Chains A and B, each alone.
Chain A
Amino acid sequence: MERYEADTTISYPCVGAAGKTGGWRDFKPVIDQSNCIKCLRCWAYCPEGAVLRGEDDSVSIDYDYCKGCGICARECPKKAITMERED
């Protein structure tokens, strides 16, 4: 990838280009794995790519970048994700 000698603010694609945005969160999604049916809706809907997909299609949350928007909890058909207030 070419790096520009820019005098303005340029950012290059990488994990966490804008820093660890998990600190913005008021509520965090918590997955009840026993209820998860691996439908991957949370993974597909997450606007930040903060739902991680495992080899076996199990899901987990990347709390370094999850901003706590709650879309995953809203979309989960099994209500297996709950939003819990951060400490």
Chain B
Amino acid sequence: MTTMFDVGNKVAAKAVQLCRPEVIAAYPITPQTVIVEELARMVQAGELSAEYLCVESEHSVMAATCAAASMGVRTFTATSSQGLAFMHEMLHWASLSRLPIVMINVNRALGPGWSIWVDETDSMSQRDTGWIQIYCSTAQEIFDTVIQAFKLAEHRDVQLPVMINYSAFTISHTMMPADILSQEDVDAFLPAFEAYWRLDWRNPVTFGNVISDEYAMEKRYTMYRGMEAAKQLIPEIAREYEQTFGRYHGGLIEEYRLDDAEYVLLAMAAIGSEAKVAVDNLRDKGYKVGLGRMRVIRPFPDEELRRIGKGRTLIALDRNISVGSGGVVYHETRSAVLGVEGCKVYGYLAGIGGRDVTYEDIEGMALKVINGEADPDVVGWWDLKDTGGK
């Protein structure tokens, strides 16, 4: 094992290389571009044996990736923000075709106003497309998650695409150490992809064909079952990885200092790691606060939240907004814990559009709730400036 000290995107590319994708289709968009540039360099330098397709848009990226995956080969791509939004139609195509594509989406705010900074509304607005969504907080977690994601996506009971998300710049362009596995180790953990169906001229089939109402609902049901299987398999694969390589970042939720906690912050990606500092500080001051770092949003960890939420107050921090509703984690958490004894849910919108959310901000939000200055039925806007009466 070697240690790499580099930005999140470069560590991600290293993990992808070790997973031996056979086709990579790419279109550049800040802040993910570093990933596909690094993979292009690897292909050019002969360090990665893959077909590298430069296509004309993100819609075409996903179309090409779907086409390649339906030939039965392992595929990878990466995108961000507007690029992800442009893929929307093909995201449904990938999941309904049950293609085990792995894609990294570096979370970036949607414009206008034009922005390149972190905001999770891009991936949250794709949460109904049937993609598994995992959120990472460190370069090491990205590295380990990429390898686990291929295994998960390709599992017979899952057969669904996986979107790995992490924060623009605070993770994508920040240098962090990461332990890198050898090719032999990765090959042993992640065997070559064996497709359950493929487009093959020797055995001609068509897919994406007309489907009548007689069968369509059942196809959605089997997809739903695939997601349910992922709920079990994400923690299982994470534990298998831990047993093999000694690293574990949590299952659907990473639980941090939850023993005797009365208040539990729910946060993800960069805010998820920053919240650990806030929890430590609040603990030092005598407040019984813990953290549930939301690693997985699809499938949504309902059961875990019901268990964690029993007799506790949950404080959801959302760096995303469904305008007209509120933060997605807040609303989905409220729905999940409905009827759970002694559980209250508060929600804050923080860091929308990339504004920095420090541990002091997180402590501030937690203290508002602890001191009875927050309303659980009203979504709070943290650090909101005067908008001139509008």
The answer, yes or no, to whether B245 is at the interface (CB within 8 Å) is: no
Which residue numbers of B lie inside 8 Å of A, CB to CB? Answer: 96-98, 159, 196-198, 203-211, 215, 219, 222-223, 226
Are B203's CB and A8's CB within 8 A? no
Q: A1-B203, A13-B204 are in contact. Are A6 and B209 (CB under 8 A)?
A: no
Residues of A contacting B209 with CB < 8 Å?
A: 9-11, 17-18
Residues of B contacting A6 with CB < 8 Å?
A: 98, 196-197, 207
Cross-chain pairs A/B with CB under 8 angstroms, 14 sampled: A2-B203, A4-B198, A6-B98, A6-B207, A7-B223, A8-B96, A8-B97, A8-B98, A9-B215, A10-B206, A10-B209, A11-B207, A18-B210, A19-B210
CA gap between A12 and B210 in the complex, in Å: 13
Q: When each residue 6-33 of chain A gets 1 if its CB lies under 8 Å from chain B and 0 otherwise, what string results? A: 1111111100011100000000000000
Residues of B contacting A5 with CB < 8 Å?
A: 196-197
CA gap between A8 and B92 in the complex, in Å: 12
Q: When each residue 43-72 of chain A gets 1 if its CB lies under 8 Å from chain B and 0 otherwise, what string results? A: 000000000000000000000000000000
User: Does more than half of chain A's interface fall in helix, strand or loop, or is it mixed?
Assistant: loop
How many whole Å from A24's CB to the nearest CB in chain B? 11
Are A8's CB and B219's CB within 8 A? yes
CA gap between A4 and B159 in the complex, in Å: 14
Residues of A contacting B210 with CB < 8 Å?
A: 18-19
How many whole Å from B100's CB to the nearest CB in chain A? 11
CA gap between A2 and B196 in the complex, in Å: 11
Residues of B contacting A9 with CB < 8 Å?
A: 207-209, 211, 215, 219
CA gap between A10 and B207 in the complex, in Å: 5
CA gap between A17 and B208 in the complex, in Å: 13
12 new A-B contacts, CB < 8 A, other than A7-B98, A8-B98, are A2-B203, A6-B98, A6-B197, A6-B207, A7-B196, A8-B219, A10-B206, A10-B207, A11-B209, A12-B205, A13-B205, A13-B206
CA gap between A9 and B215 in the complex, in Å: 9
How many whole Å from B18's CB to the nearest CB in chain A? 28
CA gap between A10 and B97 in the complex, in Å: 9
Are A8's CB and B197's CB within 8 A? yes
CA gap between A18 and B208 in the complex, in Å: 12
CA gap between A5 and B156 in the complex, in Å: 10
Set A7, A10, A19: member contacting B205, Cβ < 8 A: A10
Residues of A contacting B205 with CB < 8 Å?
A: 4, 10-13
CA gap between A4 and B70 in the complex, in Å: 13
